[in-house]
Amino acid sequence: MQQSRGLQNTAGTEKELSPFLGPELNYTGISEKLGGIPLTGLLKTPPGWIVAFIIAFTLFVVYLVSIYVLLLFGVGVWGINIPVAWGFDIINFVWWIGIGHAGTLISAILLLFRQNWRNSINRFAEAMTIFAVACAGMYPILHLGRPWLFYWLIPYPNTHGLWPQFRSPLAWDVFAISTYAIVSILFWLVGLIPDFATLRDQAKNRFVKTIFGIISLGWRGSATHWHRYEMASLLLAGLSTPLVLSVHSIISLDFAVSQVPGWQVTVFPPYFVAGAVFAGFAMVLLLAIPVRAFYGLKSYITMEHIDVMSKVMLATGLIVVYGYSLEIFFAWYSGNVFEEYLLTNRLTGPYAWIYFGLIFCNAISIQLLWFRAVRRNLALVFIISIFVSIGMWFERFVIIVMSLHRDFLPSSWDMFIPTVWDYSLYLGSFGLFFTLMFLFIRFLPMINIFEMKMFLHQAREKDHLREEAAASAQAGD
């Protein structure tokens, strides 16, 4: 199974086949390296992982405590009020769901576009998507005044004869998010099946072997299997692709459908999608750079990957900046006193520092990425990614809180001051995210084994053909 076409498989060619592949890679090496991480015995778990996991799990406990307090006393433990009835809850919801988008973009759209360099980061990005959606998905439930009744938003036949109100964007959210979560999980799981089989074959421990045996669903690598697998992947990729655009578009409609100045903006759907991809790539980079260093995966996630991802970040970032400038233009062009004041308030109001923070993070800091040297400087890319993550969080704060806190009637204007429980639930959601993330990189192959091998093979094939062509050309001379 690990051999195909009889190419040598033990030693690397020591020749750069593609900028996205380390020169020392070979088939066995890939399996052993990538399969080896999940198959490491529990007692041999790297201490670095243990420390990181303990930190993540502690934050996860903070998350649970925050939810407990929230359910006990109600959403009043947060800083929300009238007029700012949505605060960190919805900011974090939009932020997390935005982060998820990069994963789907990488696994689906780049698959359809045959961007094979994605192979080394897609598993990782997909996992990130799922965990981010899990983090995001909790917020709409928790933000309800009576969260135990969240199922009333789901259309189900009931004796009251009551349905959700389909005119409400919040009812659309339910479909958008649940569809997104289901498709993402399916896509991820299907992609894992061949690798589960590899791990089953590699595992020495009987128990581990059995587990992977069960979850690999009898995968034997037959041509039929591969054929069906390819077809299923393609279908799921086809399903996911519109989701990349639709989910965040629908979430942007939560705002765009309303009539709050600063929310009622027609540019929101594409602007939100771009922002989501922007934030998502920042998060992928934030995760990939340390993991790559820690597990020595430099041959798998190469500088070329970092470079390409930085370019995507720059491109989407510029779209977002275009959105910001349009907002300013509209405020002026509308001649509408409420829209005009919105801009005044952003620039000079009590939260102006957040708006300027947003501009610095999302518009100014990314300009460095125009330079190749910066894109290939891990430290700088890492720092810029942090700025982008913060900037995108600021952006949601600007949209949600700054629009609500001073809307139509000056009499109802008020400030939103987050409480300790606002912060703890946000921090705690990192706990949920990283707990899942660390479990994932420890117990599942974080880079797609078979796709890496396929990628290597294709590169070699290409190289082989190139050599042959060169040889024949020489011969022809």
Tell me which residues touch another protein (CB under 8 A): 73-77, 79-86, 143-146, 149-150, 152-153, 162-165, 167-171, 174, 254, 257-260, 337-338, 341, 404, 406-415, 417
The minimum distance between CB 420 and another protein, in angstroms, equals 13
Provide the minimum distance between the beta carbon of 323 and another protein in the complex, in angstroms, as a whole number. 21
For another protein, the closer CB: 21 or 253: 253
- 156 vs 371, which CB is nearer to another protein? 156
Minimum CB distance to another protein, residue 356 (Å) = 20
Q: Which of 469, 181, 120 is nearest to 308 (CA)?
A: 120
Q: Which is nearer to another protein, 178 or 222 (CB)?
A: 178
Q: Which is nearer to another protein, 143 or 292 (CB)?
A: 143
The least distance separating another protein from the CB of residue 79, rounded to whole angstroms, comes to 7
In whole angstroms, give the CA distance from residue 137 to residue 257: 21
Residue placing its CB nearer to another protein in the complex, 416 or 438: 416
Nearer to another protein, 67 or 320 (CB): 67
Considering the complex, what minimum distance in angstroms separates the CB of residue 146 from another protein? 4
In 74-93, which positions are buried (b, 16+ CB within 10 angstroms) versus exposed (e)? ebebbbbeebbebbbbbbbb
Minimum distance, C-beta of residue 59 to another protein, in the bound complex (Å): 26
Contact 100, 280 (CB under 8 A): yes
CA-based nearest residue to 302, from 68, 446, 120: 120
Q: CB nearer to another protein: give 151 or 370.
A: 151
Least Cβ distance, residue 148 to another protein (angstroms): 9
58 or 344: whose CB is closer to another protein?
Answer: 344
C-alpha–C-alpha distance, residues 126 and 142, integer Å: 25
Q: Nearest approach, Cβ of 53 to another protein (angstroms)?
A: 35
**CB 76 to another protein: min, Å:** 3
Least distance CB 307 / another protein (angstroms): 42
Least Å distance, CB 140 to another protein, is 8
Helices 88-104 & 420-443 angle (0-180, nearest 10): 20
> 169 or 221, CB closer to another protein?
169
139 vs 438 by CB, closer to another protein: 139
Q: Pseudo-torsion of CA 81, 84, 89, 94, nearest 10°?
A: 170
CA triple 338-417-431, angle to 5 deg: 120
Nearer to another protein, 163 or 370 (CB): 163
Question: Toward another protein, which CB reaches closer, 126 or 407?
Answer: 407
In the complex, minimum distance from the CB of residue 119 to another protein, in angstroms, rounded to a whole number: 40
Structure tokens at 225: 């299997």
